[in-house]
C-alpha cells in the first residue's frame, strides 16, 4: 500500500473511533483518549513502513514496540466501537417501538467506558500471553498400521515464531531451552520463523543451533521467509545445522538400519512460486523415491496444502500459519482463507495438525489463541 494512503487511512480510522467515543466520556478521560488516539494514528503506520528496515538502535526498537502496542490496542478499540454502535442502534430501535424510559445518554457514557476498559484489559492480557514462553501442548496422532518401532515417535513442532522487530534472541532462547527438555526424536519448524533480513536478524536466530533431538531439526519455508529473502535464510539455517526441506524428504529409522522407516518430508510454502518459480510447492515431488512401506509425515507451512498432501499419500501433515487467529475477532476470519484453524483434524486418510504458533506477528497480543510448542506423538490407531 502507498505510504501516504496508509497514513491517511490510519488517521481516518482513528478519527472515527475518537468521534464515536470521546464525546461520551468525561472531559479528562475524553482528552486522554483523544491524545492516545492521535499518537497511535501516527505510530501505527510509521512502525509498519519501517519494520523491515529498522535496526537495533534504541529509537528503532521504541518505534517498533510503540507502533505494535498501539496496533493491538486500536484493533480492539475499533472492533468494540463497531459492536457498541450496533448495540446502541438496536436499543434505539427498541425504544422507538416500545418506550421503556431508558436514559440513552447514560447508556452512551457507560458503553463508551466499557469499550475503553475492555480494550485495555484485552490488550494487557494479550501482551502477557504473547510475551510468555509458549506452553507445551501434547498431541497424540493415531496412525493406521503404525509399526511397533515407531510407536511413540515424537516431533517437537515450532511454527510462526516471527523473529523480528519485537521478538529477539532472548525470546527464542527460552523456546529452545523448553524444546530441549522434551527429549524429542525430531524438531520441526513449520515456517514463518523470521520477519527481516539475515544481516538484521542472524544473531537473534542463532539460538536455533542449540536445538537438540535424536534425528535433528528440520525446517520448511513459510510465506514470511519469502518476504525476508528466502534463499539467504535457507543458507543461514543450513549453516546453523538445520535441515531445510525444499520439496524433498529424509528417511529416518529410529530403531536402527533395516527397521520400519519414517519418511519426514517438507514442502515450500504454497505461495512460494510467486516469489521464486523454482520453489513451487509440490508434495508429490517431496515423496519421490521414498520407501513405499514407510509412515509419511509432511511439514507444510499452510494448512491448505492438505488436499495435495492427502492426494500424494501422506499420513500426517504438520502446519501453522493461522496463529489460531491470534486474538478475537480475527480467528473468525481464518476459515475464509484456510480449511483448518487450529488443532487436530482429518482429511480423508490424512491427519493434519495446525499449530497456533509459537510466537506472534505484529501486535504483541494473544487473546483466546495461546501460543504453543507442540509435542506431536505418533501412536497406533
pLDDT in tens, 54-103: 556 677 788 889 999 999 999 999 999 999 999 999 888 887 777 776 77
Report the alpha-carbon angle 354-279-222, nearest 5: 30
Q: How many CB atoms lie within 10 A of CB 3?
A: 11
Is the model's pLDDT at 49 over the cut of 70?
yes
Q: What percent of the chain has pLDDT over 70?
A: 97
Pick from 82, 19, 76, 74: nearest CA to 42: 74
Cα torsion angle, 340, 344, 347, 350, sign: positive
Max CA separation in the chain (angstroms): 82
Q: What is the pLDDT of residue 92?
A: 83
Helix (H) or strand (E) holding 318: strand 316-319
Distance of alpha carbon 135 from alpha carbon 8, whole angstroms: 40
Name the 3-class secondary structure at 171.
helix
Q: pLDDT grade, residue 33 (50/70/90)? A: very high
Quick one: pLDDT band at residue 53, thresholds 50, 70, 90?
low
Q: pLDDT grade, residue 13 (50/70/90)?
A: very high
Q: 248 in helix, strand or coil?
A: strand
pLDDT bracket for residue 1 (50, 70, 90): low
Q: What is the tens place of the pLDDT at every residue in 348-374?
A: 999 999 999 999 999 999 999 999 999
Residue 326, SS3 per DSSP: coil
Q: Which domains does the chain have, with CATH numbers?
A: 3-131 (no CATH), 135-380 (3.60.21.10)
* Predicted pLDDT of residue 55: 58
Cite the DSSP H helix spans in 210-352: 223-227, 230-239, 283-286, 306-312
Q: Which helix (H) or strand (E) holds 373?
A: strand 372-380
Q: Render pLDDT for 242-298 as a digit per residue (tens, 0 to 9).
A: 999 999 999 998 877 767 899 999 999 999 999 999 999 999 999 999 998 899 999
Q: Find, among 159, 149, 150, the residue nearest to 377 by Cα.
A: 150
Q: 3-21 and 27-50 helices cross at what angle (nearest 10)?
A: 160
Question: DSSP class of residue 15?
Answer: H
pLDDT tens, position by position, 95-125 = 777 777 677 788 999 999 999 999 999 999 9
Classified as helix, coil or strand, 315 is coil
Q: What does pTM read for this prediction?
A: 0.92
Alpha-carbon distance of 217 to 25, in angstroms, equals: 54
What single-letter DSSP state applies at residue 32?
H
In angstroms, rounded to a whole number, what is the distance separating the alpha carbons of residues 321 and 350? 19
Q: Could you count the other beta carbons within 10 Å of the beta carbon of residue 332?
A: 10
Structural contact between residues 315 and 297, judged by C-beta atoms closer than 8 angstroms: yes
Name the more confident of 282 and 4.
Answer: 282
pLDDT band at 6 (very low <50, low <70, confident <90, very high): confident
Q: Could you tell me if 45 and 3 are in contact, meaning their C-beta atoms sit under 8 angstroms apart?
A: yes
Using alpha carbons, list the distances in angstroms from residue 324 to 302, 358, 361, 374. 12, 11, 12, 13
Amino acid at each position: 500500500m502507498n505510504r501516504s494512503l496508509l497514513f491517511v487511512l490510519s488517521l481516518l480510522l482513528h478519527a472515527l473511533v475518537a468521534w464515536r467515543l470521546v464525546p461520551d466520556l468525561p472531559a479528562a478521560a475524553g482528552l486522554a483518549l483523544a491524545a492516545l488516539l492521535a499518537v497511535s494514528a501516527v505510530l501505527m503506520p510509521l512502525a509498519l513502513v519501517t519494520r523491515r528496515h529498522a535496526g537495533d538502535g534504541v529509537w528503532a526498537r521504541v518505534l517498533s514496540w510503540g507502533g505494535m502496542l498501539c496496533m493491538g490496542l486500536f484493533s480492539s478499540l475499533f472492533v468494540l466501537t463497531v459492536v457498541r454502535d450496533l448495540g446502541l442502534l438496536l436499543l434505539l430501535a427498541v425504544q422507538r417501538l416500545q418506550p421503556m424510559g431508558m436514559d440513552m445518554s447514560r447508556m452512551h457514557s457507560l458503553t463508551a467506558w466499557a469499550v475503553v476498559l475492555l480494550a485495555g484489559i484485552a490488550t494487557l492480557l494479550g501482551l502477557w500471553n504473547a510475551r510468555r514462553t509458549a506452553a507445551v501442548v501434547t498431541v497424540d496422532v493415531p496412525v493406521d498400521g503404525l509399526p511397533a518401532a515407531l510407536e511413540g515417535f515424537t516431533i517437537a513442532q515450532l511454527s510462526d515464531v516471527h523473529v523480528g522487530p519485537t521478538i529477539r534472541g532472548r525470546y527464542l532462547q527460552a523456546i529452545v531451552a523448553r524444546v530441549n527438555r522434551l527429549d524429542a526424536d525430531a524438531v520441526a519448524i513449520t515456517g514463518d520463523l523470521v520477519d527481516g533480513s539475515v544481516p538484521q536478524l542472524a544473531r537473534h536466530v542463532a539460538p536455533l543451533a542449540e536445538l537438540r533431538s535424536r534425528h535433528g531439526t528440520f525446517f520448511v519455508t513459510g510465506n514470511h521467509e519469502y518476504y525476508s529473502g528466502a534463499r539467504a535464510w535457507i543458507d543461514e539455517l543450513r549453516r546453523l545445522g538445520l535441515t531445510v526441506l525444499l520439496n524433498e524428504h529424509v528417511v529416518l529409522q529410529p530403531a536402527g538400519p533395516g527397521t520400519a522407516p519414517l519418511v519426514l518430508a517438507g514442502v515450500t510454502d504454497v505461495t512460494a512460486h510467486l516469489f521464486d518459480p523454482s520453489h513451487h510447492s509440490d508434495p508429490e515431488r517431496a515423496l519421490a523415491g521414498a520407501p513405499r512401506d514407510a509412515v509419511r509425515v509432511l511439514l507444510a507451512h499452510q494448512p491448505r496444502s492438505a488436499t495435495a498432501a492427502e492426494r500424494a499419500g501422506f499420513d500426517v501433515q504438520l502446519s501453522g500459519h493461522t496463529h489460531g487467529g491470534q486474538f478475537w475477532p480475527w480467528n473468525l476470519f481464518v476459515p475464509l482463507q484456510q480449511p483448518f484453524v487450529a488443532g487436530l483434524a482429518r482429511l480423508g486418510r490424512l491427519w493434519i495438525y495446525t499449530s497456533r504458533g509459537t510466537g506472534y506477528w505484529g501486535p504483541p497480543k494473544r487473546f483466546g489463541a495461546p501460543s504453543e510448542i507442540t509435542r506431536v506423538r505418533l501412536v497406533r490407531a
